[in-house]
Structure 1
Amino acid sequence: MAPHPEFPAITVYKDVYPGIDLDTRLKDAAKGKVVYITGASRGVGESTVYAYAKAGASGLFITARSANVLASVAESARKISTSVAVEPYGLDITDEKAVGESVKKCIEKFGRIDIVISNAGYMEKWKKIGEANPDEWWKTMTINIRGTFNVVHHTIKHLVAAKGYAVLLSSFGAQARMLGASGYQTSKHAINRFVEFIQVEYGSDGVKVFSVHPGGIVTELALNEPSIVELLQDKVEVASHSIVRLTSGSEDYLSGRFVSCTWDLDELAKRRKEIEEGDLLKNRLDIGSLTDPLQS
């Protein structure tokens, strides 16, 4: 039996399409919302700040280790929307106590958190396990898993209060087994499962959560592995605009699942019944024909 495919028959976009256009379909999609974003100084995080500002968010609490760069991002966001309040905050998400303090500051500033975007991440230089730098390998795990846990741990009660949204950045790499990528791809696979746990534990409280592949985007993080750069041809806005749509209320049926920001979300919605009845877009062990009894 051939292995089950891991890529759905869904139209893929490399740039903004009508379903995620902030000027039309998603105009005011985040109106009045308070959004907490990590890794907001560049790449997908920076683009997401601008997308929520344009979509009408009232408050943006933006964090990254590069506090000086955040100030510039905040200023750019204010130019996009004169009504949005932006609070930049220097933060290392691996510092659990510092994450807790940042959440307190956000609540003091805005009174609530409606949406959390856990975007900060890291990728080690790709080498086979026996040749890898152990400190680099574990740095990937610490930032991508522990850091994400810290963010969810400290924001989840506020998302319960708001019946809000969490978006955790994953990757199609979570399903791949590329030589040398054991740290990064394992960490992203773990993120997918972590999202499923959030759904199990807090879905009944009204929290919606998604694990997303942002697309193949050239970022400073991706440049850490030159071998994949030629594969990265997607615009960063396909990620940030799709994230706005996922937290707008129209895609709540995808909560607890993996979603690629490059997928046509309108086309995917037409297959909602398949997704829900088959409990698709989740991590699971494929046992294939082993479901059938052994024939003597």
Structure 2
Amino acid sequence: MTFHTTSYPSIDPSRSESSTAGKVVLITGGGSGIGPRIAHAFATSGCRKIAIVGRTVASPEKIKQEVEAAHAGVTVHTSTADIGDESAVNRAFESISKALGKIDIVISNAGYLPDTKPIAEADVEEWFKGMIINVKGTLNLAKAFLNYATEKLTSVHVSTGGCHIEPMPANSAYTVSKLAAARLMEYFAFENPQVRVHSIHPGVVKTDMHKKSSEGGLDMEFQFDDIELPASFAAWIVSPEAEFLRGKFVWSNWDVEELKAKKEELQSSQDLTLGLQGWP
């Protein structure tokens, strides 16, 4: 499988095949990390109504100004909410729905990296904060989707490749919470077949979250990816071209032409879903 570290023509959001014209897109965690670039990617793909949800007021407002200045005709609506707070999430979704209309696409990008410490040294409350935000927050969002979205909602959960690879030092809190959230999204898809669900690994990008992990001692050698890779991939994964990947967990680094070549195989198997190795 070809492994990409930068965006490439097949996932270029300006392609007509990736058009999101007429759609209302909501991005959580839109004020920092890869969220702002995802907003730009959707604006490039033709979306004219974008909602950004963040934990603070300042960051989403800054991104709103940047996106609207860079893309003529785009309206960005901002809301403040901690996704771990169900009431705050519902208020944000209600505000967005009133301002922009029912939501077609949700990019669940908000997340929390607890302090990177071995289990023996971990503060239990800090360790479990990952579960509160990454799991409870995902549950709050999923319930809100059903109340404020169109009948043909597409939901993209930004997860981590850490769910699949061997354990890394001092990273249990984050990885365990993201693995649980990914499984939650599989249940969400199972119980709501009208919703198109994708989980994606965004690659390894130099963000504040990565900086925190490095300062906490998780200083392993990584091959970094350009931030435009997950942004472009997020816009592609919601396109009709990627419909065959619904219910799957895919990496932004994987070549989409090679994935499309495996379409029939992937649609007829449990490949790219969570499971147990060595099942007899």
Q: For residues 238-283 of structure 1, what are the alpha-carbon distances to aligned partners after superposition, in whole Å with 9 as ceiling and x for unaligned?
A: 1011110111221111111101111111111101122122221011
Deviation at 1:181, TM superposition (A): 1.3
1:213 partner amino acid = H
Contact 2:204 2:225 in 1 (8 A): yes
Q: Which residue does the alignment assign to 1:82?
A: 72
Q: For residues 113-154 of structure 1, what are the alpha-carbon distances to aligned partners after superposition, in whole Å with 9 as ceiling and x for unaligned?
A: 000011111112222212111121011111111111111111
SS state of the match for residue 196, structure 1?
A: helix
Q: Identify the match of residue 202 of structure 2 among 191, 200, 214.
A: 214
1:12 partner amino acid = F
Deviation at 1:96, TM superposition (A): 0.5
Contact 2:79 2:96 in 1 (8 A): no
Q: For residues 149-196 of structure 1, what are the alpha-carbon distances to aligned partners after superposition, in whole Å with 9 as ceiling and x for unaligned?
A: 11111112444x340200111111011322321111111111221221
Q: Identify the match of residue 286 of structure 1 among 273, 277, 280.
A: 277
SS state of the match for residue 208, structure 2?
A: coil
Contact 1:124 1:224 in 2 (8 A): no
Q: Which residue does the alignment assign to 2:239?
A: 248
Q: Identify the match of residue 224 of structure 2 among 233, 236, 239.
A: 233
Residues in 2 aligned to 1:23 and 1:55: alpha-carbon distance in whole angstroms = 5
Q: Which residue does the alignment assign to 1:195?
A: 185
Deviation at 1:232, TM superposition (A): 4.7
SS state of the match for residue 163, structure 1?
A: strand
1:78 partner amino acid = E
What percentage of aligned pairs have identical amino acids? 31
Runs (4+) of structure 1 exceeding 4 A deviation are none
Contact 1:18 1:25 in 2 (8 A): no
2:102 partner amino acid = R
Please say if 1:173 is aligned against 2:127: no
Task: Kindly name which structure, 1 or 2, has the bigger radius of gyration based on alpha carbons.
Answer: 1
Residues in 2 aligned to 1:213 and 1:156: alpha-carbon distance in whole angstroms = 24
Please say if 1:46 is aligned against 2:31: no
Moved more, 127-136 or 110-119: 127-136
Contact 2:13 2:42 in 1 (8 A): no
The TM-score with structure 1 as length reference comes to: 0.89
Q: Which stretches in structure 1 are left out of the alignment for 5+ residues?
A: 1-9, 292-296
Q: Which stretches in structure 2 are left out of the alignment for 5+ residues?
A: none
Residues in 2 aligned to 1:262 and 1:114: alpha-carbon distance in whole angstroms = 25
Please say if 1:164 is aligned against 2:153: yes
Contact 2:28 2:54 in 1 (8 A): yes
Q: Which residue does the alignment assign to 1:5?
A: none
Please say if 1:263 is aligned against 2:254: yes
Q: Which residue does the alignment assign to 1:3?
A: none
Please say if 1:63 is aligned against 2:50: no
1:23 partner amino acid = S
Please say if 1:104 is aligned against 2:80: no
2:198 partner amino acid = F
Q: Which residue does the alignment assign to 2:134?
A: 144
Residues in 1 aligned to 2:22 and 2:91: alpha-carbon distance in whole angstroms = 24
Residues in 2 aligned to 1:54 and 1:26: alpha-carbon distance in whole angstroms = 12
Residues in 1 aligned to 2:7 and 2:32: alpha-carbon distance in whole angstroms = 19
Contact 2:43 2:74 in 1 (8 A): yes
Deviation at 1:17, TM superposition (A): 0.7
The alpha-carbon distance between structure 1 residues 25 and 238, as it changes in their structure 2 partners (threshold 3 A), is farther
Deviation at 1:230, TM superposition (A): 4.1
Residues in 2 aligned to 1:54 and 1:214: alpha-carbon distance in whole angstroms = 19
Deviation at 1:218, TM superposition (A): 0.9
SS state of the match for residue 250, structure 1?
A: helix
2:53 partner amino acid = T
